[in-house]
Amino acid sequence: MTRAGLKSRPRIAYLLNGFPLLSQTFIINEVIDLRRLGVDLEVYSFFEPPADKVNADVLPLKDTTVYLLPGLGAWRLVRAHLSLLFRWPWRYVKTLVFAFRNRQPKTGLLRLVFKALARGESSKSERQNLLVHFILAVPLAGQISARSCEFILAHFADAAASFAMLVSRLLDVPFGISVHAYDIFTPQVNWREKFVNAELLVTCTRFNRDFMIEKFPYLNPERIHVVYHGVDVDRFVRQNRRKTHEPILLSVGRLVPKKGFGTLIQACKILRERGFHFRCIIIGEGPERPRLEMRIKLDRLVDVVQLKGSVLPSEILDYYSEASLFALPCIVQEDGNRDGIPNVIAEALAMELPVVSTPISGIPELVEDGTTGLLVEQGDFYGLADAIERLLKSASLRSRLGKAGRKRVESVFMADRLHAQLAGILEQAAITSNRQSLRV
């Protein structure tokens, strides 16, 4: 890529597998805030999510996102490869050889390419084949080159990071990876190649950073930056708490095992048997919904636990305002998958809701047991019921924990401050790399 001179602010390319999705609230907020701060940000996504996977109030983000696979036919793919081959033959060949040597698994190339172009089903290992990524990275590189991006950030260390690494080699543009949870706690392919070649790594908890340093000893700790996701404290602010006929226990998250909703439902059963009158509202959608619905019916909790499904971000404040407390008893799954710090916990604390959660991953970095919330061991539904009972019985404890939680969020998890920190990290990496290139 030609670097004739430096712009006042470098252009950053964000690379994701799909965007914007219902589960990406923290990334959506990050993109919006970085642009508000003046960062020259381009978003690239391989898949365009269907309308039912996107909240209506973020649909404008789709108009500013560059999608690769929609409309990518065989001729356009061949033309992109020929163009890059004639423009930078040496980079093209070196990157192809790199992808071939590091491909995993050793599966049929053409079959996988055709499946990708046809949006056919393929296994996770097939989708992470680096040689297949090379085929699709070339047209992506052409688009990024045309927009003169000077740094690439991949969200998640999965396929997105593979594409970023290959485009970086094709264009001689530095890249980084924003790692979160499943992408470092569950097996991925080509971890070493991605992490060693990345200019920097950004992660959302100190726990993640410590875990990566221990698990990947070849990493330089100075290249790993911790930037919490943050919360808009001006939006998530407590108004007059809406009075309800009975206490409301709120939980929010994608309906997947690591959120611990099964444990929460069991705790609700115990509390009802103890004679407590309350409602538990769970907001979110996901593959666990049928199992959770069955559990609610079998435990005869239909009048107690409600699965509300997905709600618009503009509506979530109403649920926080009506709630008496918030619970999210996260667990570590058998394959190691777990949360970092769920943003909904920070949102609840910002709304001065007392929080009950578990001491896994980075959650204790936000929820300090007895100070800003209550922590119980994962999977301990009796312990969870006991903690919720303490809060239901004591308005003063709920108030004390809620106020302390708000102060904690204001001191450490303010989105404006954290996004400004991230902007500085990304732009400095791009500028430094440009200066080094100009000296060569």
| 345 and 287 part of one domain | yes
Query: Rounded to an integer, what distance in angstroms lies between the CA atom of residue 341 and that of residue 250?
Result: 17
| 184 and 295 part of one domain | no
User: Is residue 301 over pLDDT 80?
Assistant: yes
**Per-residue confidence band for 5, with pLDDT thresholds at 50, 70 and 90:** very low
Task: Give yes or no for a contact between 195 and 201, defined as CB atoms under 8 angstroms apart.
Answer: yes
Task: Give yes or no for a contact between 275 and 302, defined as CB atoms under 8 angstroms apart.
Answer: no
Average pLDDT taken over every residue of the chain: 90
The mean per-residue pLDDT over the stretch 185-208 comes to 93
User: Is residue 437 over pLDDT 90?
Assistant: no
In the prediction, which pLDDT does 132 show? Answer: 86
**Per-residue confidence band for 242, with pLDDT thresholds at 50, 70 and 90:** low
In the prediction, which pLDDT does 439 show? Answer: 37
Angle at 200 between CA 197 and CA 201, to 5 degrees: 105
Task: Give yes or no for a contact between 340 and 204, defined as CB atoms under 8 angstroms apart.
Answer: yes
According to DSSP, residue 34 is labeled H
User: Is residue 170 over pLDDT 90?
Assistant: yes
Q: Tell me which residue range forms the domain holding 322.
A: 248-413
| 376 and 252 part of one domain | yes
Closest CA to 74 of 118, 133, 109: 118
Closest CA to 221 of 232, 234, 231, 212: 212
Is 68 within a domain? yes
| 86 and 220 part of one domain | yes
**Per-residue confidence band for 87, with pLDDT thresholds at 50, 70 and 90:** very high
Is 4 within a domain? no
Identify the weakest region by mean pLDDT among 101-105, 175-179, 230-234, 300-304. 101-105
The mean per-residue pLDDT over the stretch 285-305 comes to 96
In the prediction, which pLDDT does 25 show? Answer: 85
In the prediction, which pLDDT does 438 show? Answer: 40
| 279 and 167 part of one domain | no
Alpha-carbon torsion 226, 229, 235, 241, what sign? negative
Provide the strand spans (E) within 112-245. 151-155, 175-179, 200-203, 224-226
What is 367-387 written as a DSSP string?
A: --BTTTBEE--TT-HHHHHHH
Closest CA to 138 of 189, 87, 198, 214: 87
In the prediction, which pLDDT does 122 show? Answer: 57
For the segment 328-371, what is each residue's pLDDT rounded down to a tens digit?
999 999 999 999 999 999 999 999 999 999 999 999 999 999 99
In the prediction, which pLDDT does 107 show? Answer: 56
| 283 and 372 part of one domain | yes
Query: Rounded to an integer, what distance in angstroms lies between the CA atom of residue 179 and that of residue 69?
Result: 24
3-class secondary structure, 181: coil
Query: Rounded to an integer, what distance in angstroms lies between the CA atom of residue 2 and that of residue 23?
Result: 37
Give the pair of three-digit tokens for residue 6.
């430096």
Is 237 within a domain? no
CA 268 to chain centre: 29
User: Is residue 112 over pLDDT 70?
Assistant: no
Is 118 within a domain? yes
**Per-residue confidence band for 113, with pLDDT thresholds at 50, 70 and 90:** low
In the prediction, which pLDDT does 206 show? Answer: 96
| 291 and 405 part of one domain | yes
User: Is residue 7 over pLDDT 90?
Assistant: no
Number of domains observed in the structure of the chain: 2
| 255 and 331 part of one domain | yes
Query: Rounded to an integer, what distance in angstroms lies between the CA atom of residue 421 and that of residue 55?
Result: 27
**Per-residue confidence band for 129, with pLDDT thresholds at 50, 70 and 90:** confident
Count CA within 13 A, CB hemisphere, residue 16: 21
User: Is residue 1 over pLDDT 70?
Assistant: no
Is 2 within a domain? no
Is 240 within a domain? no
Closest CA to 229 of 28, 367, 6: 28
User: Is residue 3 over pLDDT 50?
Assistant: no
Greatest mean pLDDT among 107-111, 141-145, 432-436 lies in 141-145
Between 57 and 181, the more confident residue is 181
In the prediction, which pLDDT does 369 show? Answer: 97
Angle at 25 between CA 23 and CA 28, to 5 degrees: 120
Give the pair of three-digit tokens for residue 421.
């920190």
The mean per-residue pLDDT over the stretch 198-226 comes to 95
In the prediction, which pLDDT does 104 show? Answer: 73
Rounded-to-10 torsion of CA 14, 19, 22, 27:
10
In the prediction, which pLDDT does 313 show? Answer: 79
| CATH number reported for the structural domain that contains residue 353 in this entry | 3.40.50.2000
Task: Give yes or no for a contact between 230 and 418, defined as CB atoms under 8 angstroms apart.
Answer: yes
Is 33 within a domain? yes
In the prediction, which pLDDT does 120 show? Answer: 55
| 296 and 380 part of one domain | yes
| 152 and 286 part of one domain | no
**Per-residue confidence band for 324, with pLDDT thresholds at 50, 70 and 90:** very high
Is 146 within a domain? yes
Residues contacting 353, CB < 8 A, separation 6+:
250, 320, 323, 324, 325, 326, 402, 405
Give how far Cα 292 sits from Cα of 126, 261, 265, 328, Å. Answer: 31, 8, 8, 15
Query: Rounded to an integer, what distance in angstroms lies between the CA atom of residue 132 and that of residue 107?
Result: 10
Give the pair of three-digit tokens for residue 15.
């690379």
| 285 and 424 part of one domain | no
pTM: 0.89
Between 310 and 267, the more confident residue is 267
In the prediction, which pLDDT does 24 show? Answer: 86
For the segment 11-68, what is each residue's pLDDT rounded down to a tens digit?
999 999 999 987 888 999 999 999 999 999 999 999 888 777 777 777 788 889 999 9
| 281 and 204 part of one domain | no
The mean per-residue pLDDT over the stretch 236-259 comes to 88
Query: Rounded to an integer, what distance in angstroms lies between the CA atom of residue 228 and that of residue 19?
Result: 20
